Amino acid sequence: MQHLKIALIQSEIVWQNAELNRINFIEMIKNISKDVDLIVFPEMFTTGFSMQPNAIAESMDGKTVQWMQKLALKKQAAVAGSVIIKDESKFYNRFLFVHPSGKIEFYNKRHLFTLAGEEKVYTAGEEKVIINYKGWKICPQVCYDLRFPVFSRNIEEYDVLLYVANWPKLRILAWDTLLKARAIENMCYTIGVNRIGADANNLEYNGHSAVYNCLGEIQSNLDEEKSLVQQIELNKSHIIDTRKKLNFLNDRDSFQIN
Catalytic positions, written as ranges: 43, 109, 143
Nearest-angstrom CA–CA distance, 176 and 210? 8
Helices (H), 172-211: 172-186
Q: Residue 34 CB: number of other CB atoms within 10 A?
A: 8
Q: Which one-letter DSSP state was computed for residue 254? A: P
Cβ atoms of 95 and 141 within 8 Å: the answer is: yes
Nearest-angstrom CA–CA distance, 105 and 111? 19
Nearest-angstrom CA–CA distance, 4 and 137? 11
Cβ atoms of 216 and 183 within 8 Å: the answer is: yes
